[in-house]
Structure 1
């Protein structure tokens, strides 16, 4: 039987890895004519595709969803929807403000935020790990970085969800588009405020640089608040869930293997699951000629389970070598926020292992996953906890 892959099928989205294994084996270049995309699933092909921006352009954005795919994508996804030279210029300017020093300086604040949410969960004894910890922590961190006041953060989170979620047909609903546009107005107001009254935050640094227009700064804020916080949210929930499912690995994690815990979770249940690219010229893969301007869906989540690179890829093993995982991409579009995500994960997991008993329990029946988008993860993870 021919392999069938529909990323909007809830059964596939619930556990896509058996389908990915069949794609890698039977259809390493796969065409879904109905949804209008081609998929690459093998590690070698995914790595090569992400590193070749001349052949596989980002100018229509990275989103698979039809409503978000097109030449307008850079309006709300900034330089991840650009090719050189525009990408080079934008990324260089943002990098001057989003420095390693600025990221490293966030650690004490991240630790304080994590301790606060953990304490609340322990006081109640049961809490939704995804909603009450994993979703709030990275949004608070990015909000602090940007200077978004606490009273606005829940609303910003709600409105930014429209960028990374889709309806069952894979389209951004009209209400979602209106929500995104209203968020743009809010970000523009922050930029205007920092022009008038600079502060010690990232937006003020971007304004002071002088190299970006208001529209370009707003597009970057869309990217940072939406995609940036969402992927870290799913990384934390994946680490918490898969450690619970694998008690022997949980013991390793709580024994101090924090970096390994985060890296294996990134590989095993990759949050940034795939990226779309526009093919710039007719190209042959495995004897199949793919036409120019085709939408190519580059499956990072499949590449990170490729058995030719990772022995026993479907085993969650904190002791494995994860150096070839491509969870944050490859090449010029390697995720600029990767260091911040890793810092947040390290601090959060350190604080969890200090404060929470490893005998925590998750209500399997209460788990809910995202509808398909470029990111994949858990949005409900009810957990019973006791102090360490």
Structure 2
């Protein structure tokens, strides 16, 4: 029987890895006629496509739902949905503001935010990692980075959570998500106007000041970058924390090592074994032949990074969760010109968050019956992770 794969299938979303293995072995260039896409699942093919933006274009966006796909995708994804030279210009200007120094200087404040978010929920012995901690923490970090006033952060948090789509199979964005996007665009537009009159030491001020000669980002482009941070800077970190928590729970020996201080290795193996971003869409700009199969020009192509990260030709015994593994070939943050600009911030947030949680948690159990996964065509993670903890003495 030929393999079947759809990113919209709830059963596959629950556990896509057996399907990925079948695709890698039997159909490395897979065709889904119903949803009208092609898919690449082997590490070498996905890596080559990520590095080949000339033939695998980002111009129509990263997701194939009608709400996100098409020539206006940059409204949702900013420069991530652009090709050179537009992408080169935008990423270059954003990079001038989103510097390693700005991220590093934020570390003490990130730790304060993590403590404020986690400590109130650990006294009773039970908490929900996602709703009590992981949902709020990265939102407040991004607000701190951007320069959102304290008084507005609750509103920004609520709007961001509404945008993080959890829709039905194959569905478009619900009205409340579209309304939240509109409200957040309006808010960030007003904040950009305000900050243009009086700079501070935040990312928004840096974006306003970023210049290459006379070239600067327009206010609309700046707002687009800020909207991108909702998904790239908030949702990714939130889901990564849940995936790390759940992965360690499933593997008691590795959990003991993780709680014993192997935080960095815990994060990196989670990003390899259970990456938040499982699928990246591209558009073929010409006929592309791989493994004797031709993908036609203008076709939608899904790059299955979740499958690539478990390719046994690159990662021996790939289904094993192993903190000693070499994860250098992981594609969790992409590769090529679209390699995630916020990867360092994401890693920093995850490290600090797990350091602060494990400083007071000696061990834990997850209520699997109460755990609930997100339903998303490209992201993998949890909505809820009810947890019973054993506190450190």
Please give the range of the TM-score, normalised by the shorter of the 2 chains: over 0.9
2:227 corresponding residue in structure 1: 222
- Whole-Å separation in 2 of the counterparts to 1:81 and 1:185: 21
Q: Is 1:378 paired with 2:382?
A: yes
TM-score, normalization by structure 1:
0.96
- Whole-Å separation in 2 of the counterparts to 1:377 and 1:155: 24
Q: Is 1:52 paired with 2:56?
A: no
TM-score, normalization by structure 2:
0.95
- Whole-Å separation in 2 of the counterparts to 1:151 and 1:234: 26
8 Å CA contact retained: 1:166, 1:373: no
Q: Deviations over 1:50-101 (max 9, x none)?
A: 1100000011111132220011011221110001111111111111111100
8 Å CA contact retained: 1:164, 1:374: no
Question: Following superposition of structure 1 onto structure 2, how do residues 189-338 of structure 1 map, counting pairs within 5 Å?
Answer: 189-209=190-210, 211-338=216-343
- Whole-Å separation in 2 of the counterparts to 1:171 and 1:324: 33
Q: CA deviation at 1:170?
A: 3.6
Q: CA deviation at 1:175?
A: 4.0
8 Å CA contact retained: 1:167, 1:173: no
Q: Deviations over 1:248-281 (max 9, x none)?
A: 0011112221110000000111001111001000
The unaligned stretches of length 5 or more in structure 1 are none
The unaligned stretches of length 5 or more in structure 2 are none
Q: Is 1:343 paired with 2:343?
A: no
1:365 corresponding residue in structure 2: 369
8 Å CA contact retained: 2:287, 2:294: yes
- Whole-Å separation in 1 of the counterparts to 2:149 and 2:124: 26
Q: Deviations over 1:197-224 (max 9, x none)?
A: 2222110111123511111001100111
Q: CA deviation at 1:155?
A: 3.6
1:15 corresponding residue in structure 2: 15
8 Å CA contact retained: 1:237, 1:378: yes
8 Å CA contact retained: 1:122, 1:386: no
Q: Deviations over 1:117-166 (max 9, x none)?
A: 22112123211101211121111110101122344334434433436544
Return 9-18 or 172-181, whichever deviates more. Answer: 172-181
- Whole-Å separation in 2 of the counterparts to 1:44 and 1:213: 38
Taking a change above 3 Å as real, the CA distance of residues 12 and 92 of structure 1, as seen in their structure-2 partners, is same
RMSD value over aligned CA atoms?
1.4
1:187 corresponding residue in structure 2: 188
1:176 corresponding residue in structure 2: 177
8 Å CA contact retained: 2:7, 2:378: no
Question: Following superposition of structure 1 onto structure 2, how do residues 44-193 of structure 1 map, counting pairs within 5 Å?
Answer: 44-160=44-160, 161-162=162-163, 164-193=165-194
SS at match of 2:328: coil
Q: CA deviation at 1:325?
A: 0.7
- Whole-Å separation in 2 of the counterparts to 1:45 and 1:66: 26
- Whole-Å separation in 1 of the counterparts to 2:282 and 2:171: 17
SS at match of 1:311: coil
- Whole-Å separation in 2 of the counterparts to 1:165 and 1:65: 13
